[in-house]
Structure 1
């Protein structure tokens, strides 16, 4: 590139592996959702005004934004050589200038709150500032076409054959830099490994001993709906948590935090998954749809606010797990026993504490967890609440063994009592491992991968099945 001409860099998708304007929107939703939504309603039809308003509400930290390495290295090298380097974006000018200032560039050009800085408008501003063919320009999309045509040299991120041919035919010198995103990164963002938690929908079927094919198919369909709904909310949660994830030792590598997948792609995927979930929910009936809608609403509330409230977040996590059990009953048209729900809620309450204890044990400092209300000093209280949940669950299970329903389903009561042994060992083991930081960040996912824990669950289920006479019915002993 000619050193005497300014280097102008599109920010969104070029200098950064993310979109600055969308970063502002999600930062606003994450830190001040009411104010952000109010700003959106007040500026409907005026996107530039909305960008200015939301930037003032909660500007994202420019030092944490993911860079596109090839472009950033070239820009920083040009700056060191004394070359003029300018950033340009549709984001609000104050935010673009802050980003340029952080990296020591000449300046930043952004939206003025009245008009968008895109297409021909961007090209006009650049020609006015630097003259026709008086600058080199780096961009990544068809929206940059006019700016490239007015530039001396075009740097194209993720080159498109048709666009490259057009620029070359116009006499522009073209340089191509790799770009784009991968489908496997988007799949990772959907967290398919978390879908295993929806096995909780099978608990009512298990408790009722209804293993007929139609019932199992209905539950499987319900699991698909909950998996789509969960992935929809996971994407929203990641977009709300961009700053906190970038401050986390491992979550900083998540696809949206790292810029591996564009925010706009995530938004489209989340919308599509949400519609798929609700469509399947409607097909399964109003009861299931209502439970699914409650799950999605509570999950969204958790992402927006509740996860930042100490103890409320753990109760919400327990409720979200319990809702899956209710959904399993709703999918088949059956009912979830009140005692079953009273039993599973303290179990999930303990596992919610285990999740937070694991995060604190694996934290790299004594500071409070980013985006959470807990510090290492809370581990003792979390442990105490976890033990309360364990004891409560075991007491409820023991009390259940004396009910008429238990007697009808499990005639051999002493085997039901024997089930308490592996169940208690499993719960105690989960709490201890969480306190010591020997799990990953989700106890349910860990439990479904832990061989020792799965063995304990197998023994518990075996005792219950034998007490119910299912082994004898299935295998003749």
Structure 2
């Protein structure tokens, strides 16, 4: 057993995240203008950038994900009476706070506004404090090789190339697991949420278009929207890191839990967004415009609008409605104002159900992290959901008297009967949200709820009967 100090790098070693990037995204959520201005102003001076972003972000270091293997190593060293010291290129105020959070040494080595303590500079500071070979050092990146060269034992976290190089020089190496899995990155892109983009096919169903060409075009549009949605999900999760870590289940999301590095997520988000725009451009300028609008409104929602009571629900409804419009643009099928007048209040109801579900599943009476609602708002949200339901059913009923409805649905009685399963489906959605038996996203829940899907299929069948489509299909 040694009594030499155990020195731990922070970003990617003791923490399963990077504090500079944490500060950047927390700062974007708190004060985006100041954060972007600081990033541009100090782009060539990382020490100043780190200090300024730390001031803006107000980062809660106790919530940051810790590498369990390194934390266990630190706990063992403390139990043996060894000094455990944090040495990081991150801002000193944050590193000092982090050390206090975990009962580590008050002595820290970190960057300040005059020096970026990284690589050779960190090595010189540690040798000056403890002497050549007077400490064990844990790090995770090639830049740490300059520090490992002066340590007694090199503790390498998830960097096998560096471990092999150090071992080749005859130095003792301890290897600890690190890195990330592609499966966790795929989970961060939320492919299960792509099912919501089946809304692009709604104009085709409403217009009774059943030829392959428009459906294929809508499918290409669905792919564009799915990639666009994934890019925004990444942004949303990075902006919501603190709120997610305070949530009973969202704390397990890939970025919040530290399973995927923030930098990797940023690269994946940019790639997904660019791919979405390229595919949309292939379908024409109108589709490119609607995808760009969707991404811009989604970004505004992530940055600000989701924190505004009631405005967030209207924005959610708008984002769902944009998908319906996109389906019409991609396929070349016209869309009527009557369809928008029906689906928008439906989406208002579902947006309210989303918040009701979150409040029902909340573990305390506090306001939802990052949202403007508390449990006392459940009644008001229920009223909004019911008003949305009534508005949608009324719009559907009034549509049945229009010239367009007479042309598409000659047998109006069947169209009126379709109101029954539609109404029952909306009641079911509201009830399941009130009881907390839904997914956090009502659209995803709706598309996996067998009873709800049964009601929708009955409604669709009745509408096809009203349109006299069954007779043609069945040869009657």
Query: Does the pair score TM above 0.5?
Result: yes
> Could you tell me how far 1:109 is from its partner in structure 2?
1.8
| Superposed counterparts of 1:377-392, under 5 Å | 377-392=376-391
Displacement after TM superposition at 1:209 (Å): 1.2
State the match for 2:190 in structure 1.
191
- 2:133 & 2:224 partners in 1: Cα distance? 54
The C-alpha deviation readout for 1:128-177, integer Å capped at 9, x for no partner, is 222221211101111211111111110111241x4223211222110111
- Is it true that 1:98 corresponds to 2:78 in the alignment? no
User: Which range is displaced more, 452-461 or 117-126?
Assistant: 117-126
Structure 2 counterpart of 1:439? 438
Extract unaligned runs of 5+ from structure 2. none
Instruction: Specify the SS of the correspondent of 1:37.
Output: helix
Tell me if structure 1 keeps the 8 A contact 2:225–2:276: yes
2:229 corresponds to 1:230: yes
Task: Give, in angstroms, the shift of residue 229 of structure 1.
Answer: 0.6
Q: For 1:48-106, what per-residue CA distance to the aligned partner results, in whole angstroms no more than 9, with x for missing partners?
A: 21111010012321111111111111112322333121112221111111111211211
Question: Match for residue 157 of structure 2?
Answer: 157
Instruction: After TM superposition, give the deviation of residue 116 of structure 1 in Å.
Output: 2.5
Query: What residue in structure 1 maps to residue 169 of structure 2?
Result: 170
- Distance (Å, rounded) in 1 between the aligned partners of 2:142 and 2:348: 50
| Number of the residue aligned with 2:214 | 215
Deviation at 1:428, TM superposition (A): 0.9
Secondary structure (helix, strand or coil) at the match of 2:179 reads coil
* Counterpart in the other structure of 1:465: 464
Match of 2:144 in 1: 144
Write the mapping of 1:247-396 to structure 2, written as runs, cut at 5 A: 247-396=246-395
**Counterpart residue number, 1:108:** 108
Provide the C-alpha distance between the structure 2 equivalents of 1:336 and 1:128, rounded to a whole number of angstroms: 72
TM-score (norm: length of structure 1):
0.97
The worse-fitting range, judged by mean Cα deviation, of 13-22 and 73-82 is 73-82
C-alpha separation in 2, matches of 1:2 and 1:372: 50
Structure 2 length-normalised TM: 0.98
How many angstroms apart in 2 are the aligned matches of 1:222 and 1:113? 48
Partner residue in 2 for 1:15: 14
Preserved contact between residue 203 and residue 324 of structure 2 (Cα < 8 Å):
yes
State the secondary structure of the residue aligned to 1:391: helix
User: Could you say what secondary structure the match of 2:209 adopts?
Assistant: coil
The structural deviation recorded for 1:292 is 0.5
Task: Name the CA distance, whole Å, in 2 between partners of 1:126 and 1:308.
Answer: 45
Note the C-alpha offset of 1:464: 0.9
**Are the equivalent residues in 1 in contact too, given 2:154–2:173 (CA < 8 A)?**
yes
Is the deviation greater in 75-84 or in 380-389?
Answer: 75-84
User: For the residues of structure 2 that align with 1:359 and 1:164, how far apart are their CA atoms?
Assistant: 46
In 1, the alpha carbon distance for the partners of 2:14 and 2:465 equals 64
Give the unaligned 5+ runs of structure 1: none
Check whether the contact 1:228–1:277 (CA below 8 A) recurs between aligned residues.
Answer: yes
Partner of 1:38: 37
In structure 1, the partner of 2:422 is 423
Q: For 1:437, what is the secondary structure of its paired residue?
A: coil
Instruction: Determine if contact 1:138/1:155 at 8 Å carries over to the other structure.
Output: yes
Q: Contact 1:153/1:174 (CA < 8 Å) preserved in 2?
A: yes
SS in 2 for 1:334: coil
Q: Does the CA contact (< 8 Å) of 1:355 and 1:442 recur in 2? A: yes
8 Å contact kept, 2:69–2:176: yes
Cα distance in structure 2, aligned partners of 1:224 and 1:172: 51
CA RMSD of aligned residues (A): 1.2
SS class of match (1:12) = coil
**Structure 2 partner of 1:64:** 63
Cα distance, 1:180 vs. partner? 1.4
Mapped contact 1:201–1:324 kept (Cα < 8 A)? yes
Map of 1:399 onto structure 2: 398
Q: Distance in 2 between matches of 1:11 and 1:95?
A: 10
